[in-house]
Amino acid sequence: MKPLADCKLYAFVDTAYLNGRSPKTLAHQLCEGGADLIQLRAKHSSLEEVRQLAEAILEVTRHANIGLVINDHPALAREVGAELCHLGQEDFFDAGHRQVSEFKIQNSKFKIGLSTHSPEQAQRALAAGADYIAIGPVYPTGTKPTAKAVTLDYVRWAAANVIVPWFAIGGLNLQNLDAVLAAGARRVCVVSAILNAPDVAQACAEFRRALE
Ligand code: TZP
Ligand code: MG
């Protein structure tokens, strides 16, 4: 996979948006559209289901040389050979973890990203050694309906202060992308605007073009 700093478009296979499509087909379309990273987000799946999904998607992402991020399950991510894992505040700090190195035993190349929703959380994530952080939700989003929007103010703060690769996330679409870029974002995570598009690969390619 590309170095994280060069990854701009972070797309998702989110099982909430499958609508009958196969996860593997979606992964293909995201790769074809130019995603730099793909996260498997399967909030209502059992660990065994996540493992099977991850193994299927890895066949696609490995071939495309794109990093696969497993949401929520660091041990499983390492076991299946995914390149990265993403954890929320509740999965990491609230669960008693302090350093991402706790998850890197015997695999120093394995990377951990952390969600953050405020400057204080970002500083704590950086001190914990996060390989990347997510900044959001920038806008309200149906993908995470209970999360409060952090607004472009937090994006501007990140642009001025965050020294690891960071991705703006939450409610991003092709209409508001320019405002997010103007606030200083150079990397974005996009779930529903890509997975709900009539043509996933084309939607992905449009984000890619806008980010170049
Ligand atoms: N974390 C913060 S916002 C969000 C997550 C997982 C959801 C982003 O999804 P969408 O559909 O791109 O708003
Ligand atoms: Mg989580």
The whole-number pLDDT of residue 80 equals 97
DSSP 148: P
Picking from 38, 79, 42, the residue whose alpha carbon sits closest to that of residue 62 is 38
Contact 30, 194 (CB under 8 A): yes
Q: Which residue is closest in CA terms to ligand 1's atom 4?
A: 170
Ligand 2 ion local residues (Cβ < 5 A): 72, 88, 91
- Tell me how far the alpha carbon of residue 171 lies from the centroid of ligand 1, in angstroms: 6
CA angle 170, 15, 69 (to 5 degrees): 65
Report which ligand 1 atom has the smallest distance to the Cα of 191.
12
Q: How many CB atoms lie within 10 A of CB 48?
A: 9
Pocket test for ligand 1, best of 188, 189, 200 (most atoms within 8 A of CB): 189
pLDDT tier at 24, thresholds 50, 70, 90: very high
- Tell me how far the alpha carbon of residue 6 lies from the centroid of ligand 2, in angstroms: 24
The sign of the torsion formed by the CA atoms of 145, 160, 40, 121 equals negative
Residue 180 corresponds to which tokens in the numbers above? 């997010």
Closest-approaching ligand to the CA atom of 71: 2
- Tell me how far the alpha carbon of residue 106 lies from the centroid of ligand 1, in angstroms: 31
Which residues approach ligand 1 with their CB closer than 6 A? 115, 136-137, 141, 143-144, 147, 169-172, 190-193
Distance of alpha carbon 58 from alpha carbon 38, whole angstroms: 10
State the average pLDDT over residues 163-182.
98
The reported pTM is 0.98
Contact 99, 129 (CB under 8 A): yes
Summarised one tens digit per residue, pLDDT across range 78-136 is: 999 999 999 999 999 999 999 999 999 887 799 999 999 999 999 999 999 999 999 99
Q: Which residue is closest in CA terms to ligand 1's atom 11?
A: 192
The whole-number pLDDT of residue 153 equals 98
The whole-number pLDDT of residue 105 equals 82
Summarised one tens digit per residue, pLDDT across range 58-88 is: 999 999 999 999 999 999 999 999 999 999 9
Picking from 173, 130, 174, 182, the residue whose alpha carbon sits closest to that of residue 155 is 182
Summarised one tens digit per residue, pLDDT across range 173-201 is: 999 999 999 999 999 999 999 999 999 99
